[in-house]
Amino acid sequence: ALLRSPPGGVRDLERMFTPGQARAAAYKVAVLGAAGGIGQPLSLLIKMSPLVSDLHLYDIANVKGVVADLSHCNTPAKVAAFTGAGELAAALKDVDVVVIPAGVPRKPGMTRDDLFNINAGIVRTLIEAVADNCPNAMINIISNPVNSTVPIAAEVLKAKGVYDPSKLFGVTTLDVVRANTFVAEKKNLRLIDVDVPVIGGHAGITILPLLSKTRPTVDFTPEEIEELTVRIQNAGTEVVEAKAGAGSATLSMAYAAARFAESCMRALDGDPDVYECAYVQSEVTELPFFATRVKLGKKGLEAIVSGDLTGLTDYEQNALEALKSELKGSIEKGVSFASNGA
């Protein structure tokens, strides 16, 4: 198969591309920010899923052309366009999975936190509409800074009285996708066999790949661990610099987000073996939000795989302690924005 999952670990898009395995199209998905660099290829990949009955594409502009184009693909999902705030409620009515890549991307020299001033307000507005129109949906937040936008979403949902922590996810799948790719390249492994859990958050040193937990078991030298960890942490910046002002990762992100959305739908569909890393409300550390592997089920997050945090190497334990203050600050910044509007 073109895309295959590691045995017993997280899975990916294999079934989308495997003829003969199509199940009944059943789920409604909305993409908010669908005309953007991520939104367009992401919508294409979601349109290919046999699990999708309806695909609602929302953006503030340019979404009609994307829908006209996508709607010619002969896959079951019905695609519909929703443009501007006046059509947001209709885009969200009764959807099962909401994927949010709306917002501005980085340019060279910027941190993800530099996007906060614009993207925090965008996410707040969109989540208010999610709360009003599809409070039971599984929410996949891509908009940066994820470390803050997820806490913002949680506060908005709480204020609306509809917060279900098992339905709110910051999408960190791209960190796992990158870790798997870089480890397989470095160690000459078959890519489809490799699975590296990535924990913490989604910015700089808060991205912590647990290379000691790589499956299958791999031996790394201390130099390899340092080199791979730093590359995975800076991989977003690697793309931002290569694009030289034209934005950040869009295609690999679309791939990763489509995989996460597909995992959400497979879980809703009753698949008992769906695991992904995601940034969620968590008690595995003293921080209120933290990315780990999670088990997904019919009601959303079913369990946090806390075992990944035991038996860490000294390198990983030190990196875990070092990331906490930055992640704490980003969480508090999001909570304070949502509570005070500032």
Closest approach of Cβ 270 to ligand NAD, in Å? 27
- Contact (CB, 8 A) for 4 and 191: no
Contact letters (x/-) for ligand NAD, 56-75, by CB under 6 A?
Answer: ---xxx--------------
What is the distance of C-alpha 119 from the center of its chain? 16
- Contact (CB, 8 A) for 177 and 256: yes
> Does 56 qualify as catalytic in the annotation?
no
Site for ligand LMR in 220-279 (CB under 6 A): 236-237, 239-240, 248-249
Q: What are phi and psi of 244, to 5 degrees?
A: 50, 50
Residue 240 binding partner per list ligand NAD, ligand LMR, none, with a CB distance cut-off of 5 to 8 Å that depends on partner kind:
ligand LMR
Contact letters (x/-) for ligand LMR, 168-197, by CB under 6 A?
Answer: ------x-----------------------
Instruction: Candidates 74-82, 130-138, 189-197, 244-252: pick the segment binding ligand NAD (CB under 6 A).
Output: 244-252
- Of 71, 74, 72, 68, nearest to 22 (Cα)? 74
Closest approach of Cβ 147 to ligand NAD, in Å? 10
Residue 122 binding partner per list ligand NAD, ligand LMR, none, with a CB distance cut-off of 5 to 8 Å that depends on partner kind:
ligand NAD
Ranges of beta strands (E only) in 176-334 are 198-200, 207-209, 274-281, 289-297, 300-304
- Contact (CB, 8 A) for 166 and 268: no
Q: Of 88 and 235, which has the nearer Cβ to ligand LMR?
A: 235
Q: Which residues of 248-264 are buried (b: 16+ CB within 10 A; e: fewer)?
A: bbbebbbbbbbbbbbbb
Instruction: Candidates 19-27, 89-97, 115-123, 328-336: pick the segment binding ligand NAD (CB under 6 A).
Output: 115-123
Q: Pick from 9, 41, 76, 101: which binds ligand NAD (CB under 6 A)?
A: 101
What gap in Å lies between CA 200 and CA 204, rounded to an integer? Answer: 10
What is the helix (H) or strand (E) element at residue 282, kind and residue range?
Answer: none
130 is a contact residue toward ligand NAD (CB under 6 A): no
249 is a contact residue toward ligand NAD (CB under 6 A): yes
What lies within 8 Å, CB to CB, of 136 at 6+ separation is 164, 167
User: Cα–Cα–Cα angle for 179, 184, 187, nearest 5°?
Assistant: 120
What gap in Å lies between CA 250 and CA 133, rounded to an integer? Answer: 28
Number of CB atoms found within 10 A of residue 201's CB: 30
Q: Which residue has the closest beta carbon to ligand LMR?
A: 236
For the record, the structure tokens of 235 come out as: 């991989």
Instruction: Candidates 50-58, 104-112, 119-127, 329-337: pick the segment binding ligand LMR (CB under 6 A).
Output: 104-112
144 is a contact residue toward ligand LMR (CB under 6 A): yes
Catalytic residue among 28, 202, 213, 293: 202
Q: Pick from 106, 167, 259, 333: which binds ligand LMR (CB under 6 A)?
A: 106
Closest approach of Cβ 242 to ligand LMR, in Å? 11
- Contact (CB, 8 A) for 184 and 194: yes
Residue 247 binding partner per list ligand LMR, ligand NAD, none, with a CB distance cut-off of 5 to 8 Å that depends on partner kind:
ligand NAD
Distances (CA, A) of 103 to 74, 122, 142, 248: 30, 7, 9, 12
Which residues sit at the interface with ligand NAD, rule CB under 6 A?
32-33, 35-39, 59-61, 101-106, 115, 119, 122, 126, 142-144, 146, 171, 174, 202, 247-250, 253
Q: What residues are labeled active site? A: 202
Residue numbers at the binding site for ligand LMR (CB under 6 A)? 105-106, 112, 144, 174, 202, 236-237, 239-240, 248-249
